[in-house]
Structure 1
């Protein structure tokens, strides 16, 4: 089949030449045509070859510049077919708002990753089975107040679904999901089961539902190798420490699996942390 220029194609470029010139694929140019973004200057009725001129090259430059701004092709089509300046201003303003929202979300996720990495680092380097006195800041949490007796993270699946119900975002339950024993039961030495399941919230969490604020407190903390099922002996040690130092529980315990079967299949690596707010005994 001849490829000699005719009166219709003089000065025009074939689709392959345009693709090479603008570093695009032939498939992309055909896709633009199918979407109504770009009409060839001429289509040879015999061969089906497509030819493009300066007007099409200008349109492709416009498309390329707007794609750099991540504007959707459907919006670009609306603009290139109208060249309405008010329209492009509205589209770019909306795109700027979307990008700003994504930027905030990425920053939020980055902070969460930093927090999880810090928790993992602390768990991997914890001085196990050693009681320490620490100052804990004010905490926000969502809590289910009911008796539970979990042995590992999977035992809390139903409670996780309850905490997640009605939320517009999915929470990552890594180092922020825990169980607690009421202070009255702690003081009485009753460590059989737990009185609440809680989800710790940071300042980036938009939780829909009742949120509790736990005040800043002086606390005792201990980390140990194992899961919730091995916690009772550590509570006994914490209670003994309180008696020795004339302290009493001042709030529910916070028992969190920092490393468990959600992130490791090796039980010898599991680490659980117990924190108990305390105050001087009267």
Structure 2
């Protein structure tokens, strides 16, 4: 390891063996500026590394396995302390988790779409008029989940102590899906609905609905909506109002998504 009193260091081959990274990968890291060798022999052009660079090489490899962009890898490596490095890595991991959730949802939907003959039981019934405590607003589609969580929290606080007469629900205007913005209404059927803050008493009118229960998480709820829409068309019915959802078993009831049950319903009328 020594020649003429000068430390030679680890050759790129030796460094590759110790890090379990290929020579080609290490050359690519060098060329992209991610991991410079400790020194390069000016005569032979050979790259030499030190043992202290082993953890850095392995960190780079893990980050690249997680598809962290080169610019962000450099930013992480240049961070002044472990806390800041951890913050940068965590932010990327959250983005990856969101992408994985979208991928998983797409896979679930595709599997259902490829089983068009799966059982699908639609009920056509008349919903009676009833009084509920409700929160309503005009919401952009990408804000619906956050709006729903805030509205339902306010609603639950307002109806504390009131007798609950059924599961909560929501109405979603067709414009929300067609145009990206529309009216959203969430409600709880309770005795003597209160009026406080955004919460107000609302009379839901009687309506004939076509309804079906969606089982499990909402990753593929659009498939259930599509099948319900096809059923409505096939039975010579027309949609006559906003989409209605009733949360028979909700995340607030049971954390296991497999146990969730959501009834989807469209107010309908028969075509002449």
**Common fold: TM-score over 0.5:** no
Which structure is larger by alpha-carbon Rg, 1 or 2? Answer: 1
Tell me the TM-score normalized by structure 1: 0.43
Tell me the TM-score normalized by structure 2: 0.45
**Higher strand proportion (structure 1 or 2):** 2
